[in-house]
Chain A
Amino acid sequence: MSPAEAARREDFRAILGLVKPGARVLDIGCGEGALLELLGHQKQVDGRGLEIQPANVALCLARGLAVVQGDADHDLDDFPTRAFDYAILSQTLQTVRQPRHVLSELLRVAERAIVSFPNFGHWRVRWSLMIRGRMPMTGALPQAWWETENIHLCTLRDFTQLCEALDLSIEACAALADGKPARAIDPMRAIENWRAEQALFLLSRKG
């Protein structure tokens, strides 16, 4: 992804809007480092990344980013408590083995977490299952069931319930769809669970 392409991605723009300048940021599942680079350029963050694919990590390092090869399930545990202002988990939660553990770890290592994921409650997903009897293939879920890395898909409602169970407060939530600008939503409203193709949350610990 070129820097120009990255700058146009609506989910990245939404994340940029949430991060304060100069913050310490950990991007988990940072891929080739496009978001980290964008955050560095536009928000002057002190950015670090965690990425599972060695080829991606090598690309990140060649771009001058500080990235560690590792996975969210195991390697977050090593980071000290509150080492970061933000932990970002962009389109990765549904691929980890232990989403609940990872989510609580995010809010141990950072003051705030920014989490985005495809909403399995979106009407197209429901339509595919109910009418066609097939696993959905949509814009947010473009791969067939046998090739996807997604192993823990959830709906907006599932996610807000997990946040409640972990005693997390939802500071902001936005819906993303088809490259349109992010739309602030109330994730508790049932209608949004139908309408949001992807959801982006800003979370913090309560109290």
Chain B
Amino acid sequence: MNAEKDATLDEGGGVARLAGPLRLDSGARLDQVEIAYRTYGRLNADKSNAVLVCHALTGDQHVAGRHPVGGKPGWWTQVIGPGLPLDPQRHFIICSNVVGGCMGSTGPSSINPETGKPWGLSFPVITIPDMVRAQALLLDHLGVETLFAVVGGSMGGMQVLQWAADYPERLFSAVCIAATARHSAQNIAFHEVGRQAIMADPSWNSGDYASLGGRPEKGLAVARMAAHITYLSEAALQRKFGRELQRDGLSWGFDADFQVESYLRHQGATFVDRFDANSYLYITRAMDYFDLAASYDGVLAEAFRRARHVQFCVLSFTSDWLYPTPESRDIVRALNASGARASFVEIDSDKGHDAFLLDEPVMRSVLAGFLDAAGSARGLA
């Protein structure tokens, strides 16, 4: 731990080596899997207060406190902390880097034990169910049998839904924010633009950039820039930047004249410092492959058939056009049809998909109300 510790968060964590191999949906098997994770708070005596937080595409396990790289605050300090909906004084909060990620969990940049070299593109394709399977093994490793709640936004929300389908017996409640039960053609299309940008960068070297000692920074930055637009709304971009210029007057060239260009370039440039290009390929692929109903003859309600006892909270945002509200409504309809106890609200926000990561007071009060009520039902103080 290089970062300063916040005593109120009661932080812990490390890298867990999973017991036994991880069997993947592709048919492949990973024999040695390491999962990097952080914890906040303490597991109570009857082990009833554990909460798993699932991160989004470019997120990581540093959900609260300070990030060891760069010292920035964790990605969900709006929700996790003393007096917040997820409180380390009441909950034992676990967040792990997904398998395939690049923040310490086994992924394409890890060393393949058979070759002694980074996996690169020889790393097997992973799926959302694979990520969830690895999380379940991590919980076994931590001695956590059941979760009071599994919580996540965006790709984290997909994992929440997969948890409800695959391990309902280990869940008491589930919170799925700004997510979808399957990737749409538009979602896949945007991801493909990002992947092509990476693969078009000569430094990518068919995934084997490690041997060249470089990284496809240009490609990854463009991928991030394109994706970042999908996380915002038109209104948010307009409000933040409009047509404001960087300097007085136009450059009559292709410098970043507009503030929005400069902002996107900055987003791309800072992203390449913290994210691995091959991980970006693998994780976007996992999201594209996600179609929860597909394993249930296309009937989403069947996915939740064993999760009737789980208390669900589904949230969407009015200006999210990446996973718009109808996607959440489909999830809620399926939950209602399966007989699960579901709550759902569309939160008014002009901040687009990223609203779930930002200061949204209504989201916070809704999460607090839902988790408090579920906590009472669970017998948590």
Contact = CB atoms under 8 A, between A and B. Distances in A.
Contact of B365 (A48, A62, A66, A83): A62
Contact of A63 (B341, B347, B369): B369
B369 A78 contact: no
Given A68-B332, A78-B336, A79-B336, A61 B345 contact: yes
A67 B339 CA distance: 14
B336 A66 contact: no
B134 interface: no
A106 interface: no
A62 B366 contact: yes
B336 A61 contact: no
Contact of B341 (A55, A60, A61, A66): A66
Interface stretch (B207-215, B226-234, B370-378): B370-378
A57 B315 CA distance: 11
A69 B344 contact: yes
Interface string A47-61: 010000011011011
Interface in B326-381: 329, 332-333, 336-339, 341-348, 362, 365-366, 368-370, 372-373, 376
A55 B345 CA distance: 9
Contacts of B197: none
Interface residues of B, number: 26
Interface in A35-85: 48, 54-55, 57-58, 60-70, 75, 78-80, 83
Contacts of B343: 57, 60-61, 65-68
Contacts of B372: 64
B223 interface: no
B365 A58 contact: yes
B329 to A, nearest CB: 8
B311 interface: yes
A83 to B, nearest CB: 6
Interface residues of A, number: 21
Interface in A107-145: none
Given A63-B369, A68-B332, A78-B336, A58 B342 contact: no
Which label, helix, strand, loop or mixed, suits the secondary structure of the B interface?
helix
B311 A66 contact: yes
A61 B313 contact: yes
A61 B366 contact: yes
B348 to A, nearest CB: 6
B373 A58 contact: no
A64 B347 contact: no
B347 A58 contact: yes
A70 B370 CA distance: 18
A60 B311 CA distance: 15
Nearest to B366: A61
B323 to A, nearest CB: 16
A63 to B, nearest CB: 6
Contacts of B347: 54, 58
Nearest to A56: B345
Contact of A61 (B338, B348, B369): B369
Given A66-B341, A67-B344, A69-B345, 13 more contacts: A54-B347, A54-B348, A57-B344, A58-B347, A58-B365, A61-B313, A62-B368, A64-B370, A65-B373, A68-B344, A70-B329, A70-B332, A78-B333
28 contacts: A54-B345, A55-B348, A57-B343, A57-B345, A58-B345, A60-B343, A61-B313, A61-B343, A61-B365, A62-B369, A64-B370, A64-B372, A64-B373, A64-B376, A65-B343, A65-B369, A66-B373, A67-B344, A67-B345, A68-B342, A68-B344, A69-B346, A70-B344, A78-B336, A80-B336, A80-B338, A80-B339, A83-B339
